[in-house]
Every structure is written in structure tokens, then in C-alpha cells.
Structure 1
Amino acid sequence: MRALAIAATGMAAQQTNVEVIANNIANINTTSFKRARAEFSDLLYQTDRAAGVPNAGGGNPVPEGTRIGLGTRTLGVRNLHLQGPLEQTGNPLDLAINGRGWFQITNPAGETLYTRAGSFNKGPNGELVTIDGYIVEPAINFPADTIDISINESGEIYAQVAGQAEPQLLGQLTLVNFANDAGLEPLGNNLYRETVASGAPTEGTAADTGFGKIHQRYLEGSNVDPVKELTELISAQRAYEMNSKIIQAADEMSSTVSKGIR
């Protein structure tokens, strides 16, 4: 009976859906986290009677055929790169991007990765690093006697050095954009990797056309909406239960037939 297999595909799809929602809710307080959405497609159709073919020689074509769907499958899990809320922290090395753009990070293997989590810090030699110790590009080094740090909306970094009246310009952070942010490969730890699907990065300056502004002493929060996630969780749970009911009904129908044969 096809209903058993069809309903099984529906249960598998809704299980994936619940797993995606669970990950969203788990990261509701993760800096710059982007919620994901499971997307589904119908499977191939089995044709029992083709449309457009005459039922008998010389007759008119059959206007409607008989095609039975074989269920559903997970087509993909899309990360929705929408702006998250900006949360004030007071830390001078916390940076949030308001708009499009990614910070560039170099990991210990020398690979360039990308993040929107601007919870930066100073390394042992005064270099600007991520919370995992990865170097932020372009490289910025703070003098040992820095007493204050100012970063403007375009990413220019100024250090107030002890004994100097004027702040010292240390450099400027640049941002990159991708043609398809959803094509970036999530690696965990708020890091992403360029892929063929994302396209090559385009580098630019914050606050320029097509790039967001940098806000010092702020972090971008998760874009997960708890009310929306709970609503979708209920919907996925009900869909799972309905597919389960179909399996139960198909089993009872099959049992009725087998009892009749005996």
C-alpha cells in the first residue's frame, strides 16, 4: 500500500523540520546567529492513466489523467541572513554591522573565513582577534599604552595613546559582500566559508553603497523570533501526527483485508 511509504516520507520531512526549528531555538541568544528554514518538494508522480491520450481509437483525448504523488523530501535548509537586533554592550571592541557585510577572519591554517559576530578582543601582542583568537583582517595592532579606542561607522580605528593629545589612526576594517549569502557554508563558532554557491567576496568599506555601517560597543543579536519558532514547531508537530495517523489508518485497512482473506 503506497500510503504507508508516502506517510513515512512526510514523517521524515517533519522530523527534519523539527530539528531545524530546535537548532533555531537553541541559538536564540547566539551572537549574529541566522535562523534557518527547512524547504520541501514533492516527489515523483506515478502515472496510472496519462492525460491527453485517447481512451479509444479515434476518440477525444482524456482531459485529466491519474497521477499519484509519492510523498515529499527535504529540498534544503536555507539560512535566512536577515538583520538581527543591535544590542549595546559597552565594550569598545564589540562591533556590530548594521546592514550588509561580513568581517574577514584568518584562522590558524591561513584560511580566510567570514563572520558577523564582532565580539573582538586584543591578542597577546596587541593584535585585533576574535573570541577564538583568530586574526581579524586587515590586521590591526594596538600600542601597549593604549588607553582608549574609538571606531567610527566606516571602520576607521583610532587609539588614544598615553602621553599623546591626538588619537592615532591605526587602520581601517573592511567588509565583504557575497552575491548569495545563503550559499555560504556554516562552520560553527559563528564562522562561514566561501563556496561556489556563494560566489566570490566583494571587498568594500563600511557605510559605502551596498555595505552596512559599523557600530562600536554593540553586537548583532540572533534574528530568531521565539513566537514564530514556537508557532512553526506546533505546525510541524501536528503535521507529524497527521502522517502518523495515515500510517495507522493504512495499517488498519491492510489488517482488515488480511483478516478477510483468512
Structure 2
Amino acid sequence: MRALSIAATGMNAQQTNLEVIANNIANINTTGFKRARAEFTDLLYQTDRAAGVANTANQATVPEGINIGLGVKTAAVRNLFEQGDLSETSNNFDMAIVGRGFFQIQAPDGSTLYTRDGAFNKNENGELVTADGYLVIPTITVPTDATDITINRSGEVYATIGTETDQQLLGQIQLANFVNEAGLKELGGNLYQETAASGAAIVGVGDDTGFGYVSQGYLESSNVDSVKEITDLISAQRAYEMNSKVITTADEMSKTVSQSMK
């Protein structure tokens, strides 16, 4: 009975949906996290009679066919890069991007990774790094006697050095954009990697056309909406239960047929 296998694909799809929702909820307090959404498509159809063919008497055209769907499959898990709320912090090196863009991070193998998590600090050499110690690109070194650190909207980093009265430019934070942000590969650790689907990185600075701007002393919160996730969770649970009910019903029908044939 096809209903058994069809309902099984529905249960598998809702299991995936539940896992995506669970990951969203688990990261509700993760800095710069972007919620994901599972997307589904129907499977192939089994055609018992095609539409538009002649009827059995070959006297008229059949207006509708008989096509039985074979279930559902997961097509994609899409990251939704909506802006998260900003949370004020007391760290001068914390930065949030308001609008489009990613901070550039140097991986241990020298490649460039991307993040919306701007919780930066200094390493032992005074260089700006992530919480995992990865260098921010381009490298910005803050002298040990630097005070009054300020970062403007375009990402320029200024500081007062020693006893000088005027601030000096230490460097500028650059941002990267992508034609298709959803095509980025998630690596964990709040990091993304460029792929063929995302397109090559487009590098610019804050307030450039198509780029957001940098806000010092703030971090971008997760864009997960707890109310929506709970609603989606209930919907997934109901869909799973209905598919399970289909399997139970189909099994009972099969038993009825088997008993009738004895």
C-alpha cells in the first residue's frame, strides 16, 4: 500500500523540520546567529492515466488524469539573514553590523571566513581577534598605550596613543557582501565559508552602497523569534502526528483485507 511509504516520507520531512527548529531554539542567545527554515518539495508522481489522452472508446479526450504523489522530500534548509536586535555592551571592541555585510576572519589555514559575530578583543600582540583567537581581516594592531578607542560607522579604528592629544587611525574594518547569502556554508563557531552558490565575496566598508554600517559597543543578537519557533514546533508536531495516523490507518486497512481473504 503506497500510503505507508508516502506517510513515512512525511514523517521524515517533519523530523528534519523539527531538527531545524530545535537548532534555532538552541541558538536563541547566540551572537549573530541567523535562524534557518526547512523547505520541502513533493516527490515524483505515479501516473495511472495521463490527462489529454483519448478515452477507452476513443471518442473524447480525457480532461483530467490520475496522478498519485509519492510523498515529500527536504529540498533545502535556508538561512534567513534578517537583522537581529542590537545589545549594548561595555567592550570598545564589540561591533555590530547594521544592515548587510560580514566581518572577515582569517582561518588557521590562511583562508578567509565570514561572521556576523563582532565580539572581538585583543590577543597578546594587540591584534583584533575573535573569541577563538582568529585574526580579523585586515589586521588591526592596538598599541599597549592606546586609550580612547573609537570606531566610526565606516569601520575606521581610532585611538589616542600615549600622551598625544589627537587620535590616530589604526586601521579600518572591512565588510564583505555576497550575491546569495543563503548559499554560504555554515562551519559552526558563528563562521561561514564562501561557496560557488554564494558567489565571490564583494569587499567594501561601512556605509558603502549595498553595505550596512558598523556600530561600536554593540553586538547583534540572534534573529530567532521564540514565539514563531514555538508556533512552528506545534505545527511540525501536528503534521508528524497526522502522518503517523495515516500509517496506522493504512496498516489497519491492510489487516482488514488480509483477514477478509482468509
TM-score category, normalised to shorter length: over 0.9
Matches within 5 A, 1:164-243: 164-243=164-243
Q: 1:28-60: CA deviations, max 9, x gaps?
A: 000000000000000000011111110145411
Aligned partner of 1:257 in structure 2 is 257
CA distance in 2, matches of 1:72, 1:38: 12
CA distance in 2, matches of 1:106, 1:243: 46
1:19 aligns with 2:22: no
SS class of match (1:119): coil
CA distance in 1, matches of 2:104, 2:50: 55
Matches within 5 A, 1:114-153: 114-153=114-153
CA distance in 1, matches of 2:147, 2:170: 14
Query: Could you tell me which amino acid in structure 2 is paired with residue 99 of structure 1?
Result: G
Aligned partner of 1:44 in structure 2 is 44
Query: Could you tell me which amino acid in structure 2 is paired with residue 84 of structure 1?
Result: G
1:77 aligns with 2:77: yes
1:10 aligns with 2:10: yes
CA distance in 2, matches of 1:108, 1:194: 16
Aligned partner of 1:97 in structure 2 is 97
Query: Could you tell me which amino acid in structure 2 is paired with residue 194 of structure 1?
Result: E
Residue 68 of structure 1: CA displacement?
0.4
Aligned length: 262
- TM-score, normalised to structure 2's length? 0.99
Query: Could you tell me which amino acid in structure 2 is paired with residue 76 of structure 1?
Result: A
Once structures 1 and 2 are overlaid, which stretch shifts more, 222-231 or 141-150?
141-150
- TM-score, normalised to structure 1's length? 0.99
CA distance in 2, matches of 1:37, 1:135: 31
CA distance in 2, matches of 1:130, 1:206: 19
RMSD between aligned alpha carbons? 0.8
Aligned partner of 1:111 in structure 2 is 111
Residue 161 of structure 1: CA displacement?
1.8
Q: 1:112-164: CA deviations, max 9, x gaps?
A: 00011000000101111111100101110011111221000010000122211
SS class of match (1:140): coil
CA distance in 2, matches of 1:85, 1:26: 17
SS class of match (1:117): coil
Query: Could you tell me which amino acid in structure 2 is paired with residue 208 of structure 1?
Result: D
Query: Could you tell me which amino acid in structure 2 is paired with residue 171 of structure 1?
Result: G
CA distance in 2, matches of 1:203, 1:81: 18
Aligned partner of 2:32 in structure 1 is 32
Residue 92 of structure 1: CA displacement?
0.3
Q: 1:68-100: CA deviations, max 9, x gaps?
A: 000000001000011111110121000000000
> What runs of 5+ residues in structure 1 fail to find an aligned partner?
none
CA distance in 2, matches of 1:108, 1:160: 31
CA distance in 1, matches of 2:63, 2:189: 56
SS class of match (1:84): coil
SS class of match (1:148): strand
Query: Could you tell me which amino acid in structure 2 is paired with residue 206 of structure 1?
Result: G
Once structures 1 and 2 are overlaid, which stretch shifts more, 102-111 or 216-225?
102-111
